[in-house]
Structure 1
C-alpha cells in the first residue's frame, strides 16, 4: 500500500507533466505566427524604407517606388466596409443575444453561419454583379461593399457569443433599478464590455484587410494614388498579388515588403486595441 508521501509525489508529477503539455501546446500555437513574421521580415526587410510609404510604383526598369497608393486604398476601403458592417453586425449580435428566440432569430443565425462559410471569391463575384456591372465601372465602393459582407457575419457571431457570457444578474440588476430594457442593454451590457466586443471587431477587420479575391472583382486596382471611391482603387493585397506573380525581381522584393507591412498593420491594430482597453481597465480599478 502506498504512503501519503508517494501519492503526493505522483500527483505533483502529473501536475508538472500537465503544465508541460499545456506550455508545449501554447508554443506550438504561437510558433506559426513568429515563423511567418520572421520569414516576411527576412524577405521584405531590404525594401522597407521611407520611399515605400511615400511613393507610388515606378515604371519597370526604374529602381525604387513604393506602395503609398495601395496602403491608403486599403485603409479607405476597409474603413468604408467597417462603417457599413460594424453597426449592423453589433445590432444583429445584440438581437441574437438578448432577444434570440423565434423564427427570425433562427433564420438570422442560419444566414450568418451560411455567410461565414461563403468563399471570398464568391463574395467578390456578388459585388461584381451587384455594383460593377450596373454602374459599368470598378470602384472602391464595390470593394468596400464586398469587404463588408466578410466583416458582417464575424461581428454578429462574436458579439452574440461575447454577450451570452455576461452573467444574467447584470441584466437583472439594471432592470431592478427601473431602467428600460434598451437602456440596460446599451449602457450596462454593451458599454460595460466594449473591450471584449472590440476584440471581435478587430478580428473581423483583420480578416477583411487581407482579402484579395473580392477586390480583384470589384476595386480592381490602380498604379496611381486616388481618393475617388467611385473609381478603381489600389489595395495592398491586390498590389502584393500583382507584384508577386510578376517576372521582375524588384517587384517581387516589394511584394514581400508589402506582405510584411500588411501583417504589421493587422498586428499593430490588435496591439493598439488591447493596450487602449487595458489602460482603461486599470483606471477603473
Structure 2
C-alpha cells in the first residue's frame, strides 16, 4: 500500500497495477473489465422495480423536498465541488464515494472529504459494494483503510455501504443479485457490516432499494437490526414516501432526487440539527 500523490489517500497495488480514478482492472485481479468511475449511489437503480423492468433512474422521483435536513452525495462524477457555496445554499451534511470493491479509490474523495468539513458540513464516506468480487470482510477492510473510518469528532458521519443492482450484470434478477443466493448475499452483508463495526465502532448505514433488498436478500431482517437505512426510491414512489425494505420501519437518509439545489444527488436526513449531531456522535457499539 502507498499514498496517492497529493491526496493523502492510500492506494493499493494489485499485480503491479495501481487502481485509482478511471480504470480498467488488471486481469491478474480476477475482476476483468470494470467501470468504477461510472458507479455511484443509485447509478444502477431501476426506474421501476416491477416485473423485472429495468432502466436507469435519471430524473427526480419527488417534486418537493421531503421534511428533514438537506444534504447531498457526490463522487468524482461531479468533478470540483464548491463546498463553501454548497454550505451557503443550506446543505448540512454530505457523503462522498471513497472506494469500490477492493481495487478502486475515488480520486476526488480526499478533496471532497476535507472541503466539506472545512465548509462546516458533517460528512462521511461510502463504499460501492460488489458481492461477487471479494468477500464482505475484504471489502470492509479496504474501505476502512481508505477513508471509511469513523471518529467521534462531531464532523464525521458513520460509514455507508452502497448495495444495489449489479452494474456489471445482465438484465435479470440473477445478475442483479450478483449471481448469489439470498443466503449468500446476506452472509456477505453480515461479513461487511460486522467487520466495519469491529474496525470503527459504528454499524454502517445501508443504502439500498426495497426491490433489491427484498429480492436479493430474501427480505433479511438481521442486518437492519443494527444498520440504519438510506433509502433510494423508484418512480412508483413519486409524490409519496418511499416504500421500506424488509427489516426497517423508517429511513435515516432519503435520496429523493438526482439533481437540484446542490451538486450530485439530493438527500435529506430524517431529523433535526440536534438529531444529526447525535447521530454523528454515536452511539458507538
Taking structure 1 as the reference length, the TM-score comes to: 0.22
State the structure with more CA Rg: 1
The structure richer in helix per residue is 1
The higher relative CO (CA closer than 8 Å, separation ≥ 6) is in: 1
The structure richer in strand per residue is 2
Taking structure 2 as the reference length, the TM-score comes to: 0.22
